[in-house]
C-alpha cells in the first residue's frame, strides 16, 4: 500500500491542456513554442501536452512523441510538463509512457481506455501496468463522455494505493464521486477539475487545481481563480469563475478543441486548422464566441 506521505503533488493551481497548432496539416512548432512562452509568462502552473485538447487522437506516433519532446525542451524545467500518454491499448500506453519519461516529462496523464470499455478489473490492470512501466507519477483522467468508461469508486480505492498513481483529472461532473474520492482516498490521490466551469466547487472539496482549456487564452485569470481560493479569498475566486462562465460555456458549445482553436484564431494566435473529423465551427456559434470575446476585452 502506498504511503500518502511519499506522494508529491505534481502542481497546485492551473495547468493548460495546450492545443496543437497545425499549418498545412503539419504541427506548427513556431506557433507552439510562442504559445508555451506566453503560457509561462502568464503565470500558468503546468502544461499538459498531447491531451484531448492537443488532438492527440489524430497525431501520428512520430508526431505524438515529437511534440512531447519539443514541449519538454522548450519549457526547460520552468514548470512541470505533463505528457498525455494514454491509449486504449495498454502496450502502446506503456511505449508512449517510456518515451515521455526518457524525454524528461515530469508526469504522465492517462485517460481511461476508450472504445474497448474495459471492465473494472481490466481497468485496474491497465493502470497498474502503465504505472509500473516508468518512474514518473501518473494522473488518471476520467472523462466518460469521451471514452464511454467511468472509473468506479472501488477502482479509485485500489489505484490510489500505488505509489506512482498520485492524482486524477475528474471530468465526469459527478460531485458526489469527487467528494467520495476526497473522503476515501485523501492525500493518496490529488484531485484536479477537468471542467473549467467547476474549478471552485472542486477546490472546495479539497482539489489541487484544474487542467484547463480556458487557460490557452486566459492563463493568468485561470491561475488566479486557483490562487485567490488558496489565499483564502474564496468570494473573489468564485466571482472570477462566474465572470468568465459565459466564455467557458461557449468554449464547450461544440466539441473541444473546436471552439478554443477558433477563439485563438480570432485573437491572432494562429490558424484554427484542425484534423478531420474535427472541422470548422458553426457560423452561429462563431458569432456568439466573437461577441463574448469582445465582452471580456479580448477582442476589439
Domains in the chain, please, with CATH?
A: 4-234 (3.20.20.70)
Which among 7, 74, 141, 192 is annotated as catalytic? 141
pLDDT more than 90, % of the chain: 92
Q: Residue 142 above 80 pLDDT?
A: yes
Predicted model pTM: 0.95
- pLDDT tens for residues 26-77? 999 999 999 999 999 999 999 999 999 999 999 999 999 999 999 999 999 9
Known catalytic residue: 169?
yes
Which among 136, 169, 177, 261 is annotated as catalytic? 169
How far apart are the C-alpha atoms of 68 and 238, rounded to whole Å?
34
Known catalytic residue: 115?
no
Q: Residue 132 above 60 pLDDT?
A: yes
Amino acid at each position: 500500500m502506498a504511503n500518502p506521505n511519499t506522494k508529491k503533488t505534481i502542481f497546485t493551481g492551473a495547468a493548460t491542456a495546450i492545443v496543437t497548432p497545425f499549418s498545412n496539416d503539419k504541427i506548427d512548432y513556431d506557433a507552439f513554442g510562442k504559445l508555451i512562452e506566453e503560457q509561462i509568462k502568464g503565470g500558468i502552473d503546468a502544461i499538459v501536452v498531447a491531451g484531448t485538447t492537443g488532438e492527440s487522437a489524430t497525431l501520428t506516433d512520430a508526431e505524438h512523441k515529437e511534440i512531447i519532446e519539443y514541449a519538454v525542451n522548450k519549457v526547460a524545467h520552468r514548470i512541470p510538463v505533463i505528457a498525455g500518454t494514454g491509449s486504449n491499448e495498454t502496450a502502446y500506453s506503456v511505449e508512449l509512457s517510456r518515451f515521455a519519461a526518457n524525454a524528461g516529462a515530469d508526469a504522465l496523464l492517462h485517460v481511461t481506455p476508450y472504445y474497448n470499455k474495459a471492465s473494472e478489473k481490466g481497468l485496474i490492470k491497465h493502470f497498474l501496468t502503465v504505472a509500473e512501466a516508468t518512474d514518473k507519477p501518473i494522473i488518471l483522467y476520467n472523462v466518460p463522455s469521451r471514452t464511454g468508461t467511468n472509473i468506479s469508486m472501488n477502482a479509485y480505492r485500489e489505484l490510489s494505493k500505488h505509489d506512482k498513481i498520485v492524482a486524477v483529472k475528474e471530468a465526469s461532473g459527478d460531485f458526489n464521486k469527487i467528494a467520495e474520492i476526497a473522503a476515501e482516498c485523501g492525500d493518496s490521490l490529488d484531485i484536479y477539475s477537468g471542467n473549467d466551469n467547476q474549478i471552485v466547487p472542486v477546490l472546495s472539496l479539497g482539489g489541487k487545481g484544474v487542467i484547463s482549456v480556458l487557460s490557452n487564452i486566459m492563463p493568468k485569470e485561470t491561475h488566479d481563480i486557483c490562487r485567490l481560493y488558496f489565499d483564502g479569498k474564496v468570494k473573489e475566486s468564485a466571482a472570477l469563475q462566474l465572470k468568465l462562465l459565459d466564455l467557458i460555456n461557449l468554449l464547450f458549445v461544440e466539441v473541444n478543441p473546436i471552439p478554443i482553436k477558433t477563439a485563438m484564431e480570432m485573437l491572432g494566435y494562429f490558424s484554427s486548422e484542425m484534423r478531420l473529423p474535427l472541422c470548422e465551427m458553426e457560423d452561429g456559434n462563431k458569432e456568439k464566441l466573437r461577441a463574448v470575446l469582445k465582452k471580456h476585452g479580448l477582442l476589439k
